[in-house]
Structure formats: C-alpha cells, structure tokens
Amino acid sequence: MPKVSTSGSSTMIHSLFLVSSAGHIFLEKHWKCVISRSVCDYLFEAQGKASTPENVPPVIATPHHYLISVYRDRIFFVAVIQTEVPPLFVIEFLHRVAETFQDYFGECSEASIKDNVVIVYELLEEMLDNGFPLATESNILKEMIKPPTILRSVVNTITGSRELGKQGVFVWVMSLGSSCSMCLPVLQQLLFFAGSSNVGEMLPTGQLSNIPWRRAGVKYTNNEAYFDVVEEIDAILDKSGNIVFAEIQGVIDACVKLSGMPDLTLSFVNPRLLDDVSFHPCVRFKRWEAERVLSFIPPDGNFQLMSYHVNAQNLVAIPVYVKQNISFFETGSSGRLDITVGPKQTMGKTVEDVVVTVQMPKVLLNANLTPSQGTYTYDPVTKVLVWDIGKLNQQKVPNLKGSLSLQSGAPRPEENPSLNIDLKIQQLAISGLKVNRLNMFGEKYKPFKGVKYVTKAGKFQVRT
C-alpha cells in the first residue's frame, strides 16, 4: 500500500500516460513534475495477469503512486496520482478526455491522437490547471481551441502554425515509435508555431456566466432542435428463456442548433416512468421535481440531455425470444447447435439488425451450420461464432443449426457458452416513454423540432 502524501503537493492528477493495448506508451503529459514512464510497468504487470485489457483493474497501487486508468477504444488512459483523490473524480475526468478527443477528431484512436498531438496538448493544458479540472465543457473548449478542419489543417501544415498550451510543466515528451530521432520533428512541430493560432485570445464567454455550458452570440439561419430517445435493454435470460434480470437504460441525446438564448421545455406523455434519472447540468431540477418537465437552456450542438433507468420488471418488454440447444461430445468428437430467434413483444414494430454472438469454448475447431436466414461466420482463432440475421420475420422464424467439430480427445468443456444478442427497433422506446411537446421561450423565431425513438439491445445475454 503506497503511502501518499497530503503535504507535498496540491496536484490532483500528476501525470497522464496514453498507452496502446499493445503496451506502447505513445503520449505522456506531466502537470507538476516528470514522473518516469517506468511507473507504467505496474500497469503492464497487471495487464500480464489479466486475460484481456478489459480485465485490468482500474486502480493500481505502486510503491509511490496510484495509477487510475480507464480502457477506451483500445487505449489505456492512465492518470498518476500522489494524493488522496476521489478515484471516480479521476475516472470521470479521463472519460471526459476521451470524449473530448472523440468530439474533436471524430474518433479516439492512437492514430488520430498522434495526428493531432498539438491540439491534444493544448486541450490537456486547458482541461487541467495544476492538476485540477478547469474547462471540460465542449462548448467552452471549442471557443478556446478550435477543432481541426480540413482548411485549417492545410493552413497549419503550410505555415507550421501552432500555439503553445498555456502553462504547466513543459516536459512535453512524446514518442512516436521508440527512436529519438522520430521524436524530434514532432517536438519541433509541437513547439513552434507562427502566425495564426489555434488558441483564442479572449476569455470564453461561458466560463463565468451562470450557464457555463452555452456560449453567447450563437447564430443559425436554420434553427433546429432534435431529440433522440435511445433505449437499451440489458437482460439476462436463463436457458429456458425466463427473465433472470432485465432493465432499460435510456438516454435522450439532443442536437440543438438554436440562435441566441433559447429556453426550452420538454414534457412527456408519461413522465411517471422516469423515477431514476441523471440530468445534464442545464436541466432545472426543481421544475422537474415539481412538474415533471425538463426545463433548460441548452448547450450549443450535441449533448446528452438526460439518462434514465427503468428496472421495474413489468415495464421491461423483451422483444425477442431465443431457443437454443448447444451440446458437445454427444457422439464422438462432434456437437450439435440449434438456435432459433423469434419476435416476441415488439409493439407492432419490426426488429432489425439482429446479430447473435457466441463465445465458444476452446475445444471447438469448426462449425458446419445452416442458417435459414442471414449469414454466419465462425472464427476458429478467437472462437467467436457470429450469426447475422438481419430483420426478424413474423412468419418464418430464423434458425441456425448444424454440427460442431471438436478437438478429439479433449475433455468436455467446463463452461457453458452464453449468447449475446444485438438488435434494433426503430420508432419505438420499449419502455413506452413518449415526448409530449417541446416549447421554446426567450427567442422569437420558430424552430424546427424533431423527436426520434430507437430501441437497441444493450448487454442482452442468453445463458445455455
């Protein structure tokens, strides 16, 4: 158990390392003083013990530090901590960093981070002051550091224009590949920028207002507000198809492009469904408690307005049924597989994009199956069977069956494979949630409004 000191340092997050799943440290950033990257060895050690990167524990104690990491998009975001810091604080922040990269570069990957390393540093510098979160709202960040655009990246390539991050500690070591000679051009690019700058010289307007999430002076010619009600069903069904556990995770994603300072009110036909909710900070909680309406001044652009959670069993409809029979070593070194998927409670909608994924035991060499609909693949290396069904047909229920060839002489597998189901239903929120109306106050124009519903499978598993 390392002893962390409370006296020495006022930095919450000391350093950040980005590590690829292959164990390559491709970016490091220090806010106070340099911490040797060898500290990541403890992560690698944990990774060595874990079967997959997903299984690496998020909090690792080292003799002098704690490593708090999240694994996203095949990258470990590793924060080095020296003081007693709430780990959730750090984990939330790291996810925020990943989301910001996603937002800025369209994807959060080793390649996109390397390509935009200057912006990455600028962002990190802005997001943390002395290890404390500073500006993490996308709207504010975008006012201070502009996201890359094709035009600007051309201009920047020509002029080499980049601006330094604001302050902190400047050991901006980075490595692209292991050789030092490769680092040099990047450092040069990183440090030297002339002429036009990515960094705004003005104080972001939202930073100190009572609505820090919205910038001032937003103008659109087409004013529009779209809301997507997305529900995911998390469920575990037992081998005879009974529900062991089921719940719905819902979110309302918004894309709001409205001029000025619109004040919106969103109401539901059946708000009673929502008893477990998390809101974007813009939502006025008091109004929700009193009237069950969402009243808010929205951020500009895309954001998640709220998330909710329905786990009352009677409210969770299961849109499909699954019948399965998988057996090994019934006769000699072969087994049988027979899976049927059919529609159940679909409220009259079509179930689409149905995919069944099965992680098979190691002894399974190959599968010889016949689907009545869709296609199937079996990867003998990863032992993953994927059956891509597509749309579910009321009349003709899809079925996949055939024989499995097993490693002869191997013992019977100890585990039963679970089936993972993916699906999608358009124009339906499976909980029955419906938006009643959206009103706008504070601005004169008439916005275009739209609501879309979709239901998907979250962690939907069938045991065998």
d(CA 439, CA 267): 9
Number of residues that bind other proteins (CB under 8 A): 100
Joined tokens for residue 335: 């087994």
In the set 325, 370, 416, 439, which binds other proteins (CB under 8 A)? 416
Nearest CB to other proteins, comparing residues 259 and 311: 311
Count of beta carbons in the 10 Å neighbourhood of residue 449: 18
Interface characters, 312-351, with other proteins (x: CB under 8 A): ----------------------------------------
Q: What angle do CA 48, 53, 57 make, to 5 degrees?
A: 80
51 lies in the site for other proteins, by CB under 8 A:
yes
User: Backbone dihedral region of 374: left (phi > 0), alpha (psi from -120 to 50 degrees) or beta?
Assistant: left
Instruction: Kindly indicate which of the ranges 36-44, 166-174, 337-345, 392-400 contains the residues binding other proteins, using the contact rule CB under 8 A.
Output: 166-174
Please name the residues in contact with 421: beta carbons below 8 A apart, sequence gap of 6 or more: 320, 322, 341, 354, 355, 356, 357, 457, 460, 461, 462
Instruction: Kindly indicate which of the ranges 16-24, 62-70, 395-403, 433-441 contains the residues binding other proteins, using the contact rule CB under 8 A.
Output: 62-70
CB of 395 to other proteins, least distance (A): 32
- DSSP secondary structure string for all residues of 237-251: E-TTS-EEEEEEEEE
| Amino acid residing at 47 | Q
| Three-state SS sequence of 318-359 | CCEEEEEEEEEEEECCEEEEEEEEEECCCCCCCEEEEEEEEE
70 lies in the site for other proteins, by CB under 8 A:
yes
Site for other proteins in 141-160 (CB under 8 A): 160
Q: Which residue is it, tokens 């029955």?
A: 432
Nearest CB to other proteins, comparing residues 179 and 210: 210
365 lies in the site for other proteins, by CB under 8 A:
no
Do residues 321 and 342 make contact, with C-beta atoms less than 8 angstroms apart? Answer: yes
Site for other proteins in 121-140 (CB under 8 A): 129-130, 132-133, 136-137
In the set 22, 48, 88, 348, which binds other proteins (CB under 8 A)? 88
- DSSP secondary structure string for all residues of 208-238: GSS-TTS-S----SS-EEEEEEEEEEEEEE-
Among the listed residues 86, 59, 54, 88, the one whose alpha carbon sits nearest the alpha carbon of residue 72: 54
CB of 372 to other proteins, least distance (A): 27
69 lies in the site for other proteins, by CB under 8 A:
yes
Kind of pairing, strands 277-279 and 293-296?
Answer: unpaired
355 lies in the site for other proteins, by CB under 8 A:
no
In the set 20, 197, 205, 267, which binds other proteins (CB under 8 A)? 197
84 lies in the site for other proteins, by CB under 8 A:
yes
Interface characters, 220-259, with other proteins (x: CB under 8 A): --------------x-x-x-----xx-x-x----------
CB of 364 to other proteins, least distance (A): 13
Nearest CB to other proteins, comparing residues 308 and 376: 308
In the set 154, 191, 269, 347, which binds other proteins (CB under 8 A)? 191
In the set 57, 106, 177, 442, which binds other proteins (CB under 8 A)? 57
| Amino acid residing at 313 | Q
Torsion from C-alpha of 82, 84, 89, 93, nearest 10 degrees: -10
CB of 309 to other proteins, least distance (A): 5
CB of 285 to other proteins, least distance (A): 4
CB of 103 to other proteins, least distance (A): 16
Please name the residues in contact with 110: beta carbons below 8 A apart, sequence gap of 6 or more: 18, 20, 26, 74, 75
Joined tokens for residue 68: 């708090």
In the set 21, 329, 418, 452, which binds other proteins (CB under 8 A)? 418
455 lies in the site for other proteins, by CB under 8 A:
no
Nearest CB to other proteins, comparing residues 304 and 350: 304
Site for other proteins in 4-33 (CB under 8 A): 4-10
SS3 at position 82: coil
Nearest CB to other proteins, comparing residues 142 and 162: 162
Q: What is the DSSP letter of 199?
A: B
Site for other proteins in 248-307 (CB under 8 A): 249, 275-281, 285-286, 288-289, 304, 306-307
